[in-house]
Structure formats: C-alpha cells, structure tokens
Structure 1
Amino acid sequence: MNMRPDPTFYPSPQLAMSAPPEEFAYTLLLSPDGSRPDALAVIDVKPGSPTYSTVVHTVPMTNKGDELHHFGWNACSSALSPLTGHAFLERRYLIIPGMRSSRIYIVDTRPHPTQARIHKIIEPDEIIGKTGYSRPHTVHCGPEGIYVSTLGGAGKDGTDGLPGIFIMDCETFEVLGRWEIDRGEQEKHYDFWWNLPRDYMVSSEWALPPQFENGLVAEDLLSNKYGHKLHFWDLRARRNVQTIDLGANHQMALEVRPAHDPVREYGFVGVVVDTTNLEGSIWTWWREGGKFHAEKTATIPPEPAAADLLPPLLQGFGAVPPLITDIDLSLDDKFLYVSCWGTGEMRQYDVTDPRKPRLSGSVHLGGIARRTPHPNGKSFAGGPQMVEISRDGKRVYWTNSLYSTWDNQFYPDGVPGVQVMGRAEPEGGLALADDYWLAFPDGYRAHQVRLEGGDCSTDSFCYPSVRS
C-alpha cells in the first residue's frame, strides 16, 4: 500500500484535464472463433516515440473462449471520497472480465506497462457461487471496492435468477457478494455508473444471455423484448428508488454517462434502435424536485441502402440503422461522442446544454453499406465502436468490434481488429489522425480501450471543478 495517494487520482475533473497526457493505451483483443486465448495489447501513444502507434507488449490470457469485454481499474479518483474513500490504493491492476466464460483476470501493470502480467485469475465457480451472477460485463472502481455488473444469473444459459452487480475487494480481489439489497423493477442489466457525492447510481438494460450470446434474436427485437428502461438507485442504501421506461420501441438502452462534475445532476444514455423507424437516439436524464426525469434529446436516422450491400439480417429493411453502441463524455462535460456502428460514423455533440445536444463534428469510417476507408487509404471493417477520450479531451480513440456473434451477423465479411484516433478541436470539430493507425494481428478483433492514468469512462470524481 502507498503512504500517499496515487498521483493519478484527481479530486476534480478540471484537475484531471490538466494532468500529463497518456503515454500508453490498453486494448482488449478477442479471438472470435475461440481458436486462441484473448489478449490485452499495450500500445505506445506517445507522439515522437519510435514505437508510436504500435503494440509494444501483449498479455495473452490462459484460457480460450473468454470473450473479453469491458474492463476497468482496481482503483481510481473515486478513492478520494471524503466519507468512504480508500485514498492510499494504487491505480495498478486492470480487472478484465470474460463475458462468455464468466472468468475474471487481474493484470498487474507495474512496474511498467510493457511488463504487464497476469496477477490472479478468478474462476467462474467463485463468482457464481458467491453471487448467483454470471457473464460479468462492466467494471467500475468505487471508493471502497470494485463494482462489476453482470448480464446473467446462474445456470447453463444464465437465466436461473436475475443479473445484477457484485463487489470485489480492491486489494485481495476476493468476490464479496451481491450489491443490491432491493432491486425493484430491474430484471435485465447492462451498464451502470454514479454520482458519488449525490449518492445515486443509474443502470441500464441490454438483454439476457439467450438474447445475445448466439447473436441478435430478430424475433425478440421486433417484439420489443430487449431492454428499454433506466433504473435509479440510492447508492448507500443499495435500493432501486425509481425506474423510467423509455418506451418498448426504444430497444437496448446501453451506455450510461453521468456528468463528471458532481455538482451536475444529469447524464446521458444511448439507445441502439427504435423498432418503429430504425433510428438511434440519445436521451438525457436529470434529477429535479427529488425525482429523476428522462427525455429523448437527439436522434440519428437510418441510411437507405441497396439490398446487395446489406447483410441478410437487414435486407428486408432496405436501410442501415445507425446502431448506437457506445457513447462517451469529455471530462469538461462539453462534448458527447456517439459511435454509430451500423452507419460507420463517429459523432461529436456539444452538450453544453445537456437537453439540447448540438452536432458539432462527425467523421465516417467503415459502416455496413458505406465502407468508408481511412484517410490513409486502408479499409476499416466494422464501424466505430468502443470509444475512449483522453483526459484533456484532445484525442479520441476507438475500435471496431462489438461482440463476436453480432459482428458476424452485421459484418459477415469479417471485422479485422483496428484502432484509430481522432483529434478534437476545443470549440468543436473532429478529424481522423493520419499518423495513428493500428491493425492488430490476424485473427483478433479489438474491443475496449483504457488509457494510462485514467480516462473519461473510468474515473468518477468527488469534488467540483472550479469554473471561471
């Protein structure tokens, strides 16, 4: 244990933005056919370095078929919480869940990112035995422990009981148990995050394992059987206090992004598709008068396309839905980035007024029908997917794979793993960086990205920023 707080723990978003830029990125690689173990790639992102934009170290996992997905740190800026914090931890270990295997890997990034190695493996029996949950999905470092959301219950198909959140010890990595005391209406799960000083959490819904593991179930989608609710929780009481139904046609409410400054009681969620018109949407939630509210604040239409450009799943529609599969909010709470995995577009919205997002930048890359190449002339299969923003808001990294079976449905020609970077302008605008292109080894696809020292979907802050 450190005797001083980790220098990468920042009291406020403003202080995190002024910290030194990242020099390394961590990206999860998955083997879609399970022929080899998934891996963690360590990437040099320091401009001017002789190995810039290349993989400088790889940590292969010990098993096949894990389907590594969303990962996070053992500790972050939330450890500075004045009431429940654990300030003398280190941001040292990456907690990497296997969504298909229900196994979790703990990777030690010390003494240097290029020497990262597996520290511990938590097997599925321990997770299921202590929590009744399976299919771990999202990891967040809380002030006193590691929170992990799940997509399944027990049993072979993950439907023996409901999914939820469990907590791990942030030093021993022991699975402690379920987080929820009263889950209320929550029956499906996906993402979650919080406002620590305001003492609330918000969670979202995707699907149960039979609805995603073997691919999108078209009949369930058209019958509006995927998730479409937001759940709000009393964080300390671990109790669901309110549920907002976005409407059954708003299928798959995925990533939740609360404002980073804890003074601001609002946030955003992306909805993959509206089954009435194939559009994607961004919703803003806020708390007022002791109650939470949510409204649709931006929509993205589908793009018409010839049937011969479409996978079988979409040929009957004659159009490509945007498929909003990830969103991310800059640390100053000014820009929201929206991944349109279907149409091949990364959108930047100015959300200075959170209930009136304004499109301020856009780049096209890949896409089901467009298939837009990178400015360097190289092809980009898939579309913009997992997106991560640097702390200073100047660099936006993204990859191109969603989930192996869904990749195969929407991009049947394959999704070779690629990572790119966009440069963001301070007042709005986004352009792809010509000097950053990372094609991963054949047979691997690329999913989530984490940045050395924290990023915009890792840290939660306990102190307000000072505004001029």
Structure 2
Amino acid sequence: MNLRPDPTFHASPKLAMQAPVENFAFTVMLSPDGSQSDGIAVVDLREGSDTYGEIVHQVIVPTKGDEFHHFGWNACSSSLSPLTGHAFLERRYLIVPGIRSSRIFIIDVKEPLKAKIHKTIEPEEIFEKTGYSRPHTIHCGPEGIYVSTLGGGGEDGTDGPPGIFIMDCETFEIIGRYEMDRGKQDKHYDFWWNLPQDYMVSSEWGLPPQFENGVVPEDLLSNKYGHSIHFWDLRARKNIQTMDFGENYQMALEIRPAHDPTKTYGFCGVVVDTSNLQGAIFTWWRDDDGVWQSKKTITIDPRPEDPANLPPLLQGFGAVPPLVTDIDLSLDDKYLYVACWGLGEMHQYDVTDPMNPVLAGKVELGGIAKGENHPNGKPFAYGPQMVEVSRDGKRVYWTNSLYSTWDDQFYPDDEGGQMVMANNDENGFHLDPKFYIDFPKGYRSHQIRLEGGDCSTDSFCYPSV
C-alpha cells in the first residue's frame, strides 16, 4: 500500500489531461480458435524509443480458450472519492476476464516490461459466489472492483439473468452480487456511473446463445437482442428506470457518461437499426423532474454494395451496415469517437453540444467489401473496433477484432490483429503513418488500456476548474 494516493489518480478530468503522456499500452492478444493461449501485449509508446510502436513484452496465460475481451484496472481516480476506504491503492493490476471460460486473471503491470500473472480466479468460484458467468467489463469503484457479466447460471448461461458482481480491490476475492433490485434488467453489456451524483447506467447485448457462436440472424431480424438501457441508484443498488430505445435499435452497447461529474448526460452506441441498417448514437440525460430522457442524436447510413462482394450474412441486404461497435469520449467531453466496424471508418464528432453532435473528422481503414489499407500500404483486417483516447486527447488508438465468431461471419476472408493510432492536432484527425502494429500470427487484438489511465477507465469525483 502507498503512503499517499497514486500520482495517476486525478481529482478532475482537467487535471488528468495535464498529466504526463502514456509510455505503454496494454492490449489483448486473443487466439480465435483457442489453439494458442491468450495474453496481454505491452506496446511501447515512448516517442524516440528504439522500440517505439512495437510489442516489447507479452504475458501469455497457461490456459486456452479464454477469449480475452474487455479488461480494466484494480484502481483508478475513483479512489479519490470521499466515500472511499481505499485512497492509497496503486494503479498496479489489470483485471482480465475470459469471456468464454469465465476465468479471470490478475496481471501485475507495475513494471510494464516485467508484467506477470499475480493471481488466477477460476470460473467455479465465480459461479458459486455470484451465479453469473461470462465476465465482460471491469470498472474500478471507490469500494471495490465492479465486473459486469453476460451470462447467468447453467451451461449456456441462461439460468437467470446476468448482472454485476464486486471484487475486493486488494485481495481480489469475490464479494458477491451487486443488484438488490434489478427491475426489468434481464440482459447485460456495459455500465458506467457518475459517483457524486450517485447513479449508474447499464446496457444490453444478448444472452450467450445469441453471441457465442456468432450473431443469430433470426434473433436479430426479430429484434430479440438488447435495446434498452437501465438507470440505477448506485448506492441503493436498485434499478430506478429502464429506457427502451425501440426494439429496432438492436444491441445498445457502450455507455459513455460525461467525464465532468457536474454534467448529467452521456451517450450510448447502437450497433444497428434493423429497419434501415443505420448505426445510431443516443444522448441520454436527466430532466428537471429527475426523469431520465434520451434522444437519437447521430445516425450513420449504410453503404450500398454489390451482393457478390458481401459475406453471406449481408448478401440479402445489398448494403454494408456501419455496425457501431465502440465509442469513446475525450476527457474534456468535446469529442466522441465512433467506431464503424462494418464501414471501415472511425468518426470524430464534436459533442460540445451533446444534443447536436457535428462530424468533425473521419478516418477510413479496413471495412467490408472495401479493405482500405493503412497509409503505410499495409492491410488492416476487419474494421476499426476498440478505441481508446489518450488523456490529453491528442492520440486515438484502435484495434480491429470484435469477437472471434462475429469476425468470421462479417469478414470471412480476413485474418490478423492490428493496432493503429490517429493524431488529433492542428492538421485535424488523421492516421499516423509511422504507428502500425501487426500482432503475432494466430492472434487478434481487442481492448486497449493506457498506462496511467485513459478515457474509458477513470471516474472523476470533483469538477474541473
């Protein structure tokens, strides 16, 4: 334990933006067929280093078939909350769940070039203590580590709804379920919160039979995937309102609240509108009467395409849907980045007015039936997927794999893992031709975490000045 708060913890978003730049990134390495063990790649981000833009260390786990997906820190700026009992933690460990195995690895990255496995939590412990399976998203809260799950109990994960459980942030013991009253929530995906305002928002993807072996076309066209978000009283641990976007807005995924805790709004990305194949972003907010509201503020159109150029799953539509699979909000709450995995585009929206976003920039890379190469001439498999923004907002990193079985459905002829970076500077939003990482053969790439925190990691407890 430290004798003072970790220097990477910041009271406000503005202070975090002024912090030193990141030296390393930690990125998922996943084996899509389970023939190799998954791992975490350590990427050198030190400009001027002889190994800049290279994988300089790997932590490969001993098991196979885990499918690493989203992962997060044991502690972050939320530790500075007045409610915390853990202000002197270190941002030292990555909590890495296997979405297929329900196994969790705790990886010590205090020395990035010597990162190593600290502890393994077997799936049986998760099942026994929570009744949940398929751990998915990690958020560090003031009193512990929150873990969302995509499955309930039973072999196929449909014995009861999925939810959130809490882990001790020092011992990594599983404490138990979060929910006291889940209301209408019966599916899960992402979640995030505003700590001073004492609310949490969660979203929905689908149950394990709807995603583990690929998208189920019948369920998608019948609008059976998630299309609601849920608002919670964070401390009372109960659902206070469920908001249905409309059943055609299938797969309400990433939740991105404003970083400044005085603001009471945020964004949610929707993968596809089944009525027209558009992608969508909803802005949500709380009105003066305390009721949560939402409005669709961004729509992204599909691209017409010769069916002969499309994967079998899309040939009947004669178009490429955007497939909005990730979004990220800069720490100053100015830019929202939207990954259009199907189109092969990363969009940058100015959301200074969150009710009226304006497209400020766009990068094209990969894409169904397009396959746009990187500026260095090298290929980029699939499309832009997991996106992470540096604290100062000047660098935007992304990878390309969505989920192994979905990759194979939408991009049956592609293979590989890449990580790239775009600059956000006086020349606008543009790819850096010098930054391009091709992952080892047989591996794909997914979630990115930046040393010292990033824009989808930390919760801030104090307003920016």
The question of a shared fold, defined as TM-score above 0.5 by the shorter chain, is answered with yes
Distance 2:419 2:363 in 1: 15
Distance 1:78 1:368 in 2: 39
Distance 2:85 2:362 in 1: 39
Q: Deviations over 1:261-308 (max 9, x none)?
A: 000000000000000000000000001121110110010000001112
Matched residue SS, 2:32: coil
Matched residue SS, 2:442: coil
Distance 1:84 1:25 in 2: 27
Distance 1:19 1:35 in 2: 41
Structure 1 residue 85 displacement after superposition: 4.7
Equivalent AA in structure 2 for residue 167 of structure 1: I
Distance 1:71 1:430 in 2: 27
Matched residue SS, 2:406: helix
Question: Is 1:356 equivalent to 2:356 in the alignment?
Answer: yes
Q: What is residue 371 of structure 1 aligned with on the other side?
A: 371
Q: What is residue 160 of structure 1 aligned with on the other side?
A: 159
Distance 2:94 2:432 in 1: 27
Q: What is residue 442 of structure 1 aligned with on the other side?
A: 441
Distance 1:25 1:276 in 2: 39
Q: What is residue 131 of structure 2 aligned with on the other side?
A: 132
After superposition, residues 44-123 of structure 1 pair within 5 angstroms as: 44-110=44-110, 112-123=111-122
After superposition, residues 358-437 of structure 1 pair within 5 angstroms as: 358-425=358-425, 429-437=428-436
Matched residue SS, 1:406: helix
Q: What is residue 271 of structure 2 aligned with on the other side?
A: 272
Q: What is residue 16 of structure 2 aligned with on the other side?
A: 16
Equivalent AA in structure 2 for residue 337 of structure 1: Y
Structure 1 residue 27 displacement after superposition: 0.2
Structure 1 residue 381 displacement after superposition: 1.1
Equivalent AA in structure 2 for residue 215 of structure 1: G
Equivalent AA in structure 2 for residue 343 of structure 1: L
Structure 1 residue 22 displacement after superposition: 0.1
Matched residue SS, 2:162: coil
Q: Deviations over 1:403-436 (max 9, x none)?
A: 000000001013300000000136x931000110
Distance 2:238 2:428 in 1: 41
Q: Is the contact between residue 400 and residue 415 of structure 1 (CA under 8 Å) also seen in structure 2?
A: no
Q: What is residue 203 of structure 1 aligned with on the other side?
A: 202
CA RMSD, Structure 1 to Structure 2 (Å): 0.8
Q: What is residue 6 of structure 2 aligned with on the other side?
A: 6
Q: What is residue 234 of structure 1 aligned with on the other side?
A: 233
Structure 1 residue 82 displacement after superposition: 1.0
Distance 2:236 2:355 in 1: 29
Question: Is 1:179 equivalent to 2:178 in the alignment?
Answer: yes
Distance 1:336 1:171 in 2: 33
TM-score by length of 2: 0.99
Percent of residue pairs identical: 72
Matched residue SS, 2:435: strand
Count of equivalent residues: 464
Q: Deviations over 1:76-112 (max 9, x none)?
A: 00000012352100000000000000000000012x1
Distance 1:190 1:233 in 2: 15
Matched residue SS, 1:221: helix
TM-score by length of 1: 0.98
Distance 1:346 1:429 in 2: 13
Distance 1:190 1:305 in 2: 31
Q: Is the contact between residue 362 and residue 429 of structure 1 (CA under 8 Å) also seen in structure 2?
A: no
- Which segments of 5 or more consecutive residues in structure 2 lack a partner in the other structure? none
Structure 1 residue 14 displacement after superposition: 0.2
Q: What is residue 245 of structure 2 aligned with on the other side?
A: 246
Matched residue SS, 2:296: strand
Distance 2:369 2:263 in 1: 39
Distance 2:428 2:261 in 1: 26
Q: Is the contact between residue 348 and residue 429 of structure 1 (CA under 8 Å) also seen in structure 2?
A: no
Distance 1:144 1:465 in 2: 23
Distance 2:415 2:452 in 1: 29
Q: Is the contact between residue 401 and residue 415 of structure 1 (CA under 8 Å) also seen in structure 2?
A: no
Distance 2:218 2:428 in 1: 39
After superposition, residues 210-221 of structure 1 pair within 5 angstroms as: 210-221=209-220
Distance 1:455 1:168 in 2: 22
Q: Deviations over 1:134-172 (max 9, x none)?
A: 000000000110000000001110001110000000000
Q: What is residue 149 of structure 2 aligned with on the other side?
A: 150
Q: Is the contact between residue 78 and residue 85 of structure 1 (CA under 8 Å) also seen in structure 2?
A: no
Q: Is the contact between residue 2 and residue 89 of structure 1 (CA under 8 Å) also seen in structure 2?
A: yes
Structure 1 residue 369 displacement after superposition: 1.5
Distance 1:176 1:205 in 2: 24
Distance 1:145 1:230 in 2: 23
Structure 1 residue 355 displacement after superposition: 0.6
Matched residue SS, 1:315: coil
Matched residue SS, 2:314: helix
Matched residue SS, 2:380: coil
Distance 1:388 1:130 in 2: 32
Distance 1:21 1:287 in 2: 34
Distance 1:89 1:69 in 2: 25
Change (3 A) 1:85 1:293: farther
Matched residue SS, 2:409: helix
Structure 1 residue 183 displacement after superposition: 0.1
Distance 1:313 1:382 in 2: 15
Distance 2:309 2:85 in 1: 53
